[in-house]
């Protein structure tokens, strides 16, 4: 059912935990399935130098969180914003159709964390805040 990449990121998650005094925090959830994802960022000079996650959810949610943090580390905020749920799913070598919402949560978590960082620093957020 799950690819080797999904199982690897589920069994050996990367970047699990939380950054103390994070520069940006994004928390998202899916009430239908109960998955909750929290992504924290450390940003220096507009670049994500560290990203961590805490996820309560299924194997696909944990793997999506793990892969998402791997994909955004080292990227500028703009580059990280461009990481889509499709990119997360492809990096995981695919997700079952009923689990694609987990990669959507990862994309939303990245966006919320970046928007939180921007709001704290007085720069425009995606929602204009």
CATH code, domain carrying 107: 3.90.1010.10
In what order do the strands lie in the sheet containing 47-56?
24-30, 35-44, 47-56
Is 102 part of the annotated catalytic residue set? yes
- The active-site residue out of 102, 106, 110, 114 is 102
**Residue 128: its pLDDT value, please?**
59
CA distance 34 to 49: 30
**Residue 30: its pLDDT value, please?**
82
Pick out the chain residues at pLDDT < 70.
127-129
- The active-site residue out of 16, 33, 87, 119 is 33
Q: Is residue 92 part of a domain?
A: yes
| Sign of torsion over alpha carbons 75, 80, 85, 86 | negative
Domain of 73?
Answer: 4-120
Q: Is residue 20 part of a domain?
A: yes
**Residue 123: its pLDDT value, please?**
84
**Residue 126: its pLDDT value, please?**
72
Q: Is residue 15 part of a domain?
A: yes
Q: Is residue 127 part of a domain?
A: no
Q: Is residue 129 part of a domain?
A: no
Question: What pairing do the DSSP bridges indicate for beta strands 35-44 and 47-56?
Answer: antiparallel
**Residue 127: its pLDDT value, please?**
63
**Residue 105: its pLDDT value, please?**
97
pTM (whole model) above 0.85? yes
Write out pLDDT tens, residues 43-72: 999 999 999 999 999 999 999 999 999 999
Is 58 part of the annotated catalytic residue set? no
């Amino acid at each position: 059912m799950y690819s080797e990449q999904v199982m690897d990121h589920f069994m050996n998650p990367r970047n699990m935990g939380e950054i103390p005094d994070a520069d940006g925090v994004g928390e998202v959830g899916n009430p239908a399935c109960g998955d909750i994802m929290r992504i924290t960022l450390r940003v220096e000079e507009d670049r994500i130098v560290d990203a961590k996650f805490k996820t309560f959810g299924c194997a696909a949610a944990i793997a999506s969180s793990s892969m998402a943090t791997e994909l955004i580390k080292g990227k500028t905020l703009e580059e990280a914003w461009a990481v889509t749920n499709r990119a997360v799913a492809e990096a995981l070598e695919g997700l079952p159709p009923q689990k694609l919402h987990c990669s959507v949560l990862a994309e939303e978590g990245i966006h919320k964390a970046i928007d939180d960082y921007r709001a704290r620093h007085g720069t425009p957020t995606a929602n204009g805040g």
